[in-house]
Amino acid sequence: MKRTLKALVVACGAVVSALGVGAGTTPAQAQGKTITLCWAAWDPANALVELSKDFTAKSGIGMKFEFVPWTNYADRFLNELNSHGQLCDLIIGDSQWIGGAAENGQYVKLNDFFKKEGISMDDYMPATVVGYSEWPKNTPNYWALPAMGDAVGWTYRKDWFARPDVQKDFKAKYGRDIGVPKTLDELKDIAQFFQGREIDGKKVYGASIYTERGSEGITMGVSSYLYDYGFKYDDPKKPYAMDGFVNSASAVKGLEAYKDLYKCCTPPGASNSYMSEGLDAFKSGQVALQMNFFAFLPGLYKDPNVGGDKIGFFVNPAGPAAQATQLGGQGISVVSYSKNQAEALQYIKWFAGGDVQKKWWALGGYSCAKSVLNDPSFPNSAPFAKEFLQSMGMVVDFWAEPSYAQLLQAEQKRVHDYVVADKGTAQEALDGLVKDWKAVFKEEGKKF
């Protein structure tokens, strides 16, 4: 009797533990492997969490996520990489990190892996391959798979543009119909028109643009203007020769134009605005125009107050010399200090799949795969898809050198000093920038 009771207890215990395990675990836990993916905390990251559930279901590898707000994103993860930390197995690192991460051995080089798995960079938009994967630039050395395409774009209040009183007043003032601006001058006219205007009894303002000082904000905004005015980082024939390219007369005009827009047409207190401040200004109905990355547009389109029919999208308008915009976005890399490199590579292989890329776009991520972007149905797949596609064809990126942070800091300081703090002239700001950048490259041992 005693033995029977004992057997019964053991059997019950086994059943209970089997049920418990079955109910609480995923195949990943069953396999016992979990990898951590590090990225910024923003809307597309939520889409990636959703998407990655398919990976776990398919591979049995669990996914953990480490998302850090943009303001701390670079500090946090560059610290992690520089200290050879093992927190991240996979990292979606900013495009400018690629040079440093490649040269300092922080990312795993993916050429052999791509070859073995049949992943071709020809299947991705060329700008994203150069921007997110290659180091040195324009050489077939790949350190990341293009993961999240992004660029600076614009949103506008379609409902305000459609108001008869606005249309009438605008035509009377500028002699043309109000509409999506084709040039930066037109954009300024629209911003100026709305600045201080009353809409439904509320005072509104022209535009929210990037002016943030601490990280990279104002550089991202100013660059979208400078490129249109003919700014170039260096002589295309002589790398690192910056005189006459960074501080050319046309680039100076571009910087002046950005300052004009800041002074005439932004809301009070917008001296330190970046992505989230722009979103706040637009969502709260303060501004008619907003400069922001495409990554935020799905969320804005869904916004109950300013989304849907009330919002419109357009690409960075043309300037006197060109039509270009600042590249955003990131590639996904395997961290060389990771102990789970095989599983991380498995994730990249899965992520590169055509169906996964389609689902990625559908969930709110921005695929860089040609199979998605060149699909005839793509331009109509979202209200901002056409503009995204157009933008990705005209993107320019900041330096991606190992010393990019120093180069970025110098531009942040010079440009903020001129645009926001009224210090010196545009010519002095860009001359100073050339001086700073030369000093950085000299320290790096570059010859120019």
Partner 1 sequence: MIPVPGSVHAMNELSASSRITYRAVRVRPGVARRIRGLSDKTLAWLFITPTIVLLLAINIFPLLWTIYLSFTNYRANRANVPTIWLGADWYQSILTDPDIWAAMQVTAHFVIWTVVIETVLGFGLAYLIDKKFRGHGLWTTIILLPMMLSPAVVGNFWTFLYQPQIGLFNYVVAFFSGRDASSFQMLGDVTLSPWAIVIVDAWMWTPYVMLICLAGLRSIPDYIFEAAEVDRASKWRQFWSITLPMALPFIMLAVLFRGIENFKMFDMVNLLTGGGPGSTTEVASITLKRAAFESWRTGYSSAFAIILFVTVFGLANIYVKALNKVKSR
Among 41, 68, 78, 322, binds partner 1 (CB under 8 A): 78
In the shown chain, the binding pattern of residues 323 to 342 toward partner 1, with x for contact by CB under 8 A and - for none, equals --------------------
Q: Is 269 in the site for partner 1 (CB under 8 A)?
A: yes
Among 50, 75, 165, 375, binds partner 1 (CB under 8 A): 75
| Binding footprint of partner 1, residue count (CB under 8 A) | 33
Reference 367, options 380, 383, 353, 377; nearest CA is 353
Say how far apart CA 369 and CA 356 lie, in whole Å: 10
Footprint on residues 286-305 left by partner 1 (CB under 8 A): 286
Q: Is 268 in the site for partner 1 (CB under 8 A)?
A: yes
Footprint on residues 90-109 left by partner 1 (CB under 8 A): 100, 103-105
Q: Is 270 in the site for partner 1 (CB under 8 A)?
A: yes
Q: Is 349 in the site for partner 1 (CB under 8 A)?
A: no
Separation of first and last alpha carbons in the chain = 92
Q: Which two tokens stand for residue 231?
A: 């700014």
Q: Is 420 in the site for partner 1 (CB under 8 A)?
A: yes
Q: Please, what is the minimum distance in Å from the beta carbon of residue 84 to partner 1? A: 8
Among 31, 272, 381, 390, binds partner 1 (CB under 8 A): 272
CA distances from 22 to 18, 26, 390, 399 (A): 6, 8, 49, 51
Q: Which stretch binds partner 1 (CB under 8 A): 11-19, 20-28, 307-315, 420-428?
A: 420-428
Q: What sections of 98-152 are H helices per DSSP?
A: 98-103, 111-117, 126-128
Q: Is 213 in the site for partner 1 (CB under 8 A)?
A: yes
Q: Please, what is the minimum distance in Å from the beta carbon of residue 441 to partner 1? A: 14
Which secondary-structure segment (H or E) carries 427? helix 426-443
Say how far apart CA 361 and CA 382 lie, in whole Å: 10
Q: Please, what is the minimum distance in Å from the beta carbon of residue 112 to partner 1? A: 21
Among 89, 189, 212, 411, binds partner 1 (CB under 8 A): 212
The smaller minimum CB distance to partner 1, of residues 219 and 367, is found at 219
CA distances from 374 to 48, 267, 360 (A): 22, 39, 15
Q: Please, what is the minimum distance in Å from the beta carbon of residue 278 to partner 1? A: 15
Q: Is 43 in the site for partner 1 (CB under 8 A)?
A: no
b/e per residue 391-413 (b: at least 16 CB within 10 A):
bbbbbbbbbbbbbbbbbbebbbb
- Residue 85 phi, psi (nearest 5): -70, 155
Among 82, 111, 305, 374, binds partner 1 (CB under 8 A): 82
Opening angle at CA 281, ends 294 and 380, nearest 5: 30
Among 405, 426, 430, 433, binds partner 1 (CB under 8 A): 405
Q: Is 201 in the site for partner 1 (CB under 8 A)?
A: no
Which secondary-structure segment (H or E) carries 337? none
List, in order, residues 6 or more apart from 362 with CB less than 8 Å away.
none
The smaller minimum CB distance to partner 1, of residues 158 and 213, is found at 213
Contact status, residue 88 vs residue 37, Cβ threshold 8 Å: yes
Among 418, 426, 433, 441, binds partner 1 (CB under 8 A): 418
CA distances from 11 to 2, 4, 18, 30, 192 (A): 14, 10, 10, 22, 78
Residue ranges in contact with partner 1 by CB under 8 A? 74-75, 78-79, 81-82, 100, 103-105, 212-214, 267-272, 286, 402-403, 405-406, 409, 413, 416-418, 420-423
